[in-house]
Structure 1
Amino acid sequence: MSTRIAACSCGQLTATIVEGPIRVSICHCLACQRRTGSVFGVQARFNKASVTIQGQSRQYVRIGDEGGKATFSFCPNCGATVHYEIEGREDSMTIPVGAFAEPSFPEPTFSVYEERKHAWVGLPLGIEHMA
């Protein structure tokens, strides 16, 4: 596994990762749709110890449908989210896959909140589904 670098749009905030992802997932919840400006979010979870963050960030805390907190870190210059942490998973860090700008990034293996999935969205074969 080679080193991967995720960055915001202006390049000021970066995350350097030296291990492969624990899991790559798709989230169809309405909050992820709003966060990404797309019809779903795609993110990769990593062991926090394998991630190095550089640059300045601001945080936004979102309360999920089931009451859990996610703290999103975004660039104060361009506004792009580069990483976030989920309450109860303090040993991991989640990074939006698009921040890597790497078309060969591993495909998602898990899909959640599919009841909010847009009808025209197709998913990879063999993906694990969670309503």
Structure 2
Amino acid sequence: MSEAIFASGHCLCGAVEFTVSSAPILSAQCHCEHCQRASGTGHMSLAFFPEAAVAIRGETRHFDSVTDTGSINTRYFCPTCGSRLFGQTTMRPGVLGIAVGAFDQHTWFKPDRIVYHRNKPAWDFMDPNLPTFETGAPPPPSKDKASS
């Protein structure tokens, strides 16, 4: 990770801290059932970064769940205070999603998509101008397709 810091954050108790050295490669509001349960509300706000751009200090625990597409989503949290912090999916290797509320300052956050819109509660208002996907966003192109 480079020395420049784009953003930093920590869990509620401060036992887990992180820094990020790049701007997000994408950002989203996810309304899937798993994110609703993990956040305790209608959606999870996530910013996604190359894993190499994130430095994490402190012990985390994780929980794996199978998504509706069959990929594995691993959610990392602080074992002391329970704060949900990071996530990875086998569908996007090398990318780490960070819960936006865990950042010290997050005025830079602007979601660029809404995913699992089909599960969005009527009371959870979102920007109507954002692209929406009834399920997850399309997976990134494979390296074979990207090079052709």
| Band the TM-score falls in, shorter-chain normalisation | over 0.9
Q: Offset at 1:12?
A: 0.7
Measure how far apart 1:125 and its partner are.
Answer: 4.5
- When normalised by structure 2's length, the TM-score is 0.82
SS in 1 for 2:55: strand
State how many pairs are aligned: 131
Aligned letter for 1:63? V
Equivalent positions of 1:77-88 (< 5 A) are 77-88=80-91
Aligned residue number for residue 59 of structure 1: 62
Tell me whether 1:111 sits opposite 2:111 in the alignment. Answer: no
Please say if residues 19 and 54 of structure 2, whose CA atoms lie closer than 8 Å, have aligned partners that are also in contact: yes
Instruction: List alignment gaps of at least 5 residues for structure 2.
Output: 135-148
State how far apart, in whole Å, the 1-side matches of 2:13 and 2:83 are.
Answer: 9
Give the secondary structure class of the aligned counterpart of 2:75: strand
Larger Rg: 2
**C-alpha contact (below 8 Å) 1:6/1:82 kept by paired residues:** no
Q: Is the 8 A contact 1:15 1:54 kept in 2?
A: yes
Letter in 2 for 1:114: H
| Residues 91-126 of structure 1 deviation map (CA, whole Å, 9 limit, x = unaligned) | 111101111142413211100111111112222243
Q: Structure 1 CA distance, aligned partners of 2:55 and 2:104?
A: 18
Q: Where does residue 27 of structure 2 map in the other structure?
A: 24
Distance, in Å, in 2 between the alignment partners of 1:31 and 1:128 is 21
Q: TM-score, normalised on structure 1?
A: 0.92
Distance (Å, rounded) in 2 between the aligned partners of 1:103 and 1:49:
20
